[in-house]
């Protein structure tokens, strides 16, 4: 997903249920749960005519939310008569579960008589594949910067028991046109991703020939097939060519099953590549999955750590202003917290760049969430040692009850007032609550938003009544935009 639409390997819908994917029969109930909007996407977005890309399942265009200039999205159009409905369902299910700085965001899904529309985060830097082709090969600083972000995203996904199964250069986007060592990399395309059970092998041959792991070809594998593909990606970035060759797919797959040759590093361009890089490659492109590096282990390798100076985000320590924002968030009303959460989910990448880097810096084990200990360590550098206050802040931030701070929760709690006081930003947040576009928010709409934003702290009749009471200044049973704006700016 994202602004680049690359070709995908077709997924056999007949294997959906046994392969861990949602079966076609669940399509209706799933979409009801996701709250697919039954109104034309053009009611909410000004959709451009020019295609940003064409993939195996549909085209991608740019859309701007009406009434705003800041909410510019990538809109992926998928015909309802497509043959691979199971892959589409799986893509949306998986994408809606993920919340990480290096994974593309899914915002909304619309439906009309002919198509489904995925409204996603827009990237303008193009595919990583194109950047590699243009450069022919990367130096180690560039490759390490990319691999650091790729492995971070994969580590997070595996921590949520989700396997991507189609890691390749085409499935990573650069958020902006920048030098590669400054670029933010996002994982896209979850069309053949699957939720797995640890210890239970996956089945079904999925992936792209150059990147597919040998055990996948044998029909029984675990999530380390992603790490193999990460190794192939790293190999291509450093050498400009894939590690396994052939005149056709059959020959490529035969080469994959043999693994790297014993003399893999004896020829150019590997003579000038450091031993550390070769060690990471050998650990990832390892024939035996039980001996292969997992993403968490690879992230701790000296080669990645020694190149962290190429990653500006590792320099972003927690600041006093961030801590003050966290304290302020703890004292806000529950309704306002829900609104801030909605704003944070839809915030422009440029506006939250510094907060994103701070979140990454706090996440020392790089699993994609911030624990109490990590928050405490970050605050300790500011001289804050009182754990009681920190525990209160942690509880207030953890709106989904996961016992740790997710990425969006952190952004919601650390945004400056300047970011959410603008009328245009508040109008976008108001529209999230105003489901029927009536110009006011009623109790039913509030309940729906709290459910779909996963704000567990605000669920329940008492909380709903309290939220409505605090915002509804004229006591007419609804919240209009003026009341909403007053609550947010109070």
Options 3.30.2350.10, 1.10.510.10, 3.40.50.1450, 1.10.1060.10; CATH for 128-313 is: 1.10.510.10
Judge whether 166 and 6 are in contact, CB under 8 Å. Answer: no
pTM score of the predicted model: 0.86
Q: What is the 3-state secondary structure (H, E, C) of 71-89?
A: CEEEEEEEECCCCCHHHHH
Rounded to 5°, the CA angle 295-299-301 comes to 120
pLDDT at 36: 76
Instruction: Answer whether residue 363 shows pLDDT above 90.
Output: yes
Local structure of 437: helix, strand or coil: coil
Sorted by sequence, the CB contacts under 8 Å of residue 218 that are 6+ apart come out as: none
**pLDDT tens, 92-124?**
888 888 999 999 999 888 988 888 899 999 999
19 burial type by CB count under 10 A (0-12 exposed, 13-18 middle, 19+ buried): buried
Name the region of 439 (left: φ>0; alpha: ψ -120 to 50; beta: rest).
left
Instruction: Answer whether residue 28 shows pLDDT above 70.
Output: no
d(CA 178, CA 189): 22
Judge whether 399 and 455 are in contact, CB under 8 Å. Answer: yes
d(CA 55, CA 42): 21
482 burial type by CB count under 10 A (0-12 exposed, 13-18 middle, 19+ buried): exposed
Average pLDDT over residues 279-308: 95
**pLDDT tens, 184-226?**
999 998 888 999 999 999 998 778 899 999 999 999 999 999 9
d(CA 375, CA 367): 14
The pair of structure tokens assigned to 371 is 């624990």
d(CA 266, CA 251): 23
Judge whether 454 and 406 are in contact, CB under 8 Å. Answer: no
Catalytic member of 19, 99, 166, 189: 166
Cβ count within 10 A of residue 50: 6
Options 1.10.238.10, 3.40.630.30, 3.40.920.10, 1.10.10.10; CATH for 320-489 is: 1.10.238.10
- DSSP secondary structure string, 79-140? ETT-S-HHHHHHHHHHHHH---TTB--EEEEEE-SSEEEEEEE---S-BHHHHHHHHSS--H
Q: How confident is the model at residue 265 (pLDDT cuts 50, 70, 90)?
A: very high
d(CA 70, CA 72): 6
Instruction: Answer whether residue 327 shows pLDDT above 90.
Output: no
The architecture CATH gives domain 13-121: 2-Layer Sandwich (3.30)
d(CA 359, CA 397): 13
Which residues partner with 370 through β-bridges?
405
Judge whether 1 and 118 are in contact, CB under 8 Å. Answer: yes
DSSP 414: H
Among 24-33, 208-217, 414-423, the minimum mean pLDDT is found in 24-33
166 among known catalytic residues: yes
What percentage of the chain has pLDDT greater than the value 90?
A: 45
pLDDT at 394: 84
Nearest alpha-carbon partner for 54 in 11, 4, 104, 109: 4
d(CA 121, CA 103): 10
Sorted by where each begins, the domain ranges of the chain are: 13-121, 128-313, 320-489
**Where are the extended beta strands (E) located within 193-298?**
194-195
Judge whether 284 and 230 are in contact, CB under 8 Å. Answer: yes
Which residues partner with 106 through β-bridges?
120
Average pLDDT over residues 322-331: 84
Judge whether 79 and 117 are in contact, CB under 8 Å. Answer: no
The pair of structure tokens assigned to 208 is 């792209």
**pLDDT tens, 432-488?**
888 888 899 988 888 777 666 555 555 556 777 777 878 888 889 899 999 999 988
Judge whether 22 and 86 are in contact, CB under 8 Å. Answer: yes
Which residues partner with 163 through β-bridges?
194
End-to-end C-alpha distance for the chain, whole angstroms: 38
Instruction: Answer whether residue 83 shows pLDDT above 70.
Output: no
Judge whether 185 and 102 are in contact, CB under 8 Å. Answer: yes
Cβ count within 10 A of residue 263: 8
CA distances from 287 to 199, 238, 267, 435 (A): 19, 20, 21, 52
């Amino acid at each position: 997903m994202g602004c680049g639409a690359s070709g995908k390997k077709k997924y056999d819908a007949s294997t959906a249920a046994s392969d861990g994917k949602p079966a076609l029969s669940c399509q209706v109930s799933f979409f009801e749960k996701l709250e697919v909007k039954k109104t034309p996407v053009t009611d909410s977005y000004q959709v451009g005519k020019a295609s940003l890309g064409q993939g195996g399942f549909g085209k991608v265009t740019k859309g701007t939310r009406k009434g705003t200039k800041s909410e510019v999205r990538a809109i992926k159009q998928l015909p309802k008569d497509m043959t691979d409905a199971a892959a589409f369902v799986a893509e949306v299910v998986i994408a809606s579960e993920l919340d990480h700085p290096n994974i593309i965001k899914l915002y909304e899904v619309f439906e009309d008589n002919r198509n489904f529309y995925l409204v996603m985060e827009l990237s303008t830097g193009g595919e990583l594949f194109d950047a590699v082709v243009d450069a022919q090969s990367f130096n180690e600083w560039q490759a390490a910067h990319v691999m650091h972000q790729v492995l971070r995203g994969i580590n997070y996904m595996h921590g949520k028991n989700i396997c991507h199964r189609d890691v390749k250069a085409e499935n990573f986007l650069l958020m902006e046109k920048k030098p590669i060592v400054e670029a933010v990399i996002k994982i896209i395309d979850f069309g053949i991703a699957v939720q797995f059970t640890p210890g239970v092998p996956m089945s079904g041959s999925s992936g792209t020939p150059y990147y597919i792991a040998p055990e996948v070809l044998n029909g029984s594998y675990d999530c380390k097939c992603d790490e193999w593909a990460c190794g192939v990606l790293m190999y291509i970035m450093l050498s400009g060519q894939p590690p396994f060759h052939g005149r056709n797919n059959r020959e490529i797959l035969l080469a994959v099953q043999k693994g790297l040759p014993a003399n893999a590093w004896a020829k150019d361009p590997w003579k000038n590549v450091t031993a550390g890089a070769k060690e990471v490659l050998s650990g990832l492109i390892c024939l035996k999955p039980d001996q292969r590096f997992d993403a968490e282990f690879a992230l701790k390798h000296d080669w990645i750590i020694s190149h962290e100076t190429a990653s500006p985000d590792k320099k972003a320590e927690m600041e006093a202003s961030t801590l003050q924002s966290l304290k302020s968030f703890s004292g806000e009303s529950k309704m306002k917290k829900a609104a801030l959460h909605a704003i944070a989910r839809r915030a422009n990448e440029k506006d939250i760049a510094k907060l994103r880097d701070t979140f990454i810096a706090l996440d020392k084990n790089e699993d994609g969430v911030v624990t109490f200990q990590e928050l405490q360590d970050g605050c300790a550098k500011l001289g804050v040692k009182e754990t009681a206050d920190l525990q209160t802040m942690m509880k207030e931030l953890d709106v989904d009850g996961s016992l740790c701070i997710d990425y969006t929760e952190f952004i919601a709690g650390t945004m400056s007032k300047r970011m959410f006081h603008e009328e245009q930003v508040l109008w976008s947040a108001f529209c999230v609550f105003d489901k029927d576009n009536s110009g006011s928010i009623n109790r039913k709409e509030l309940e729906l938003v709290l459910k779909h934003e996963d704000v567990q702290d605000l669920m329940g009749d008492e909380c709903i009544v309290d939220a409505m009471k605090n915002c509804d200044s004229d006591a007419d049973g609804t919240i209009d935009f003026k009341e909403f704006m007053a609550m947010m700016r109070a």
